[in-house]
Amino acid sequence: MSDRHPCCDPYRDGDRTDPNDEQRAGRVRIVETSEPGWSMTYRVECATCARRFTVTQIDGPALRWTWVPQGEKRRRAH
C-alpha cells in the first residue's frame, strides 16, 4: 500500500503555502487553529483524500508555513 498522495504531497516540501489561501481555493479545509497571532498552528484536512496536516506558521522576514502530515515525525534538516 502506497502512502503517496498526489493531491497534497507538494505541501510536505513547501514553506510558502498559506493554509488560508488553500482553503479559499477549495483544496483543504481548516479544522482547527490556535489563537490568532504571528505564530499559529493549524489543523488542516486535504479536500480530496482527507489526509490531515499540522501546519505551523512561522514569523520572520516573510511568513512561512511548515506542513507536517499527522502521524509522521518532522524531518530534521541536515
CA pair distance 58, 51, nearest whole angstrom: 22
Sign, Cα dihedral of 37, 27, 47, 68: negative
Please say if the pLDDT value at position 73 is more than 60. no
pLDDT tens track for 21-63: 999 999 999 999 999 887 899 999 999 999 999 999 988 888 8
DSSP state, residue 25: T
Looking at the chain, the whole-number percentage of residues with pLDDT higher than 90 is: 55
| Radius of gyration from C-alpha coordinates of the chain | 12
Task: Please indicate, yes or no, whether the overall pTM of this predicted structure exceeds 0.85.
Answer: no
